[in-house]
Structure 1
């Protein structure tokens, strides 16, 4: 086993597929996947895993030095802005190469009725005039933003139960993607949903709800992504394997 360590900031389907790909393509490397620990029973990737935060940029920089990390790959969720910002700062301080993997965002298609907003707070303001029964698919940590909308009824879907404060009128479905269009249509019809609120996460894991909303003619409030980290970026995990051989100190470079 090589002494070259790659830190993979994970928590996404791409990160799990990348960990498996690196285990197959580069078994000579030590790959450590870091998970934030916000999900009680996360889907674990192949290889070595650490769970929990680093303690901000300074803590991450200390960890990179202590573990003698040769490269960092940020394959976190597009809305995980805090860890992505910490990675940019820590890698610059320690002098470790950083590559960001970001799947493309969703693109509006004919028949869609999308209302793009810059934040969750703006989404909460937007739903007031669009419908009373809301499918809130923005993750359990953002439900509190909608807690004051007592005139609305919310369906929340998340892997773990959301934390209070919560909307007064609420139903929670615990589930993990990927989801199908047929399943999403059944869900929207069963709960008589009138508007969908979601983040522009991109990818295929949860895109079926957008197709279902299109078919039913429902308005969609779509929260735009935060700014992309100031680092080299790719869209496909295969590009990470091509990027690694050009790094100093890596075997085979």
Structure 2
């Protein structure tokens, strides 16, 4: 497959999978995708990653290492179903408070329902808002996390600058995202799995393969590890680094507001 990734200079704001759309058109299209898949989203994460997303998310929380003290505040963006926020709260012995922000009300509804079942609602706030325009004061959070969501944000550079704004001094950014496979042979297997199997499983599980065709294509458009790290630096973060998981199928990016 020819490389279709955008560079650090931009391009994701008009990219809906492999199709370019007009300015302002991407967000409604992405919203429609997640309204369709909300109730089965976590199941499809299992399908798309062969279950590995669970280990990657656990590694993300281990890297964050939330303290077991009251007053630690995190913002989990594009985290509607609560998967990351729940992990953070449990890792802090239920001391941390996490604000879950998502632009998609269907995803947030799933997260709120799950939080009730897990008896975690007291540690959570659910907010429907845009990652490009966070409704919070500057220097509000100790950590900003986003897992498998940043590539769905049209203006990634704006979202990263907003992340920097709302973090406290000494606060940390952690971004987990599908990335560029750097292991020979694995890349061919991964492409075959992604384009041949994932949309078909999507149709089987949710009744619609189109959202999963978009998700597969969006992974191939997202900047590679080095280009995305450069975007994080450009947004003002320091000590920027990334760690590849499973040969680069996913990568965890880290930055600090100093």
Return the TM-score normalized by structure 2.
0.41
The structure richer in helix per residue is 2
Return the TM-score normalized by structure 1.
0.41
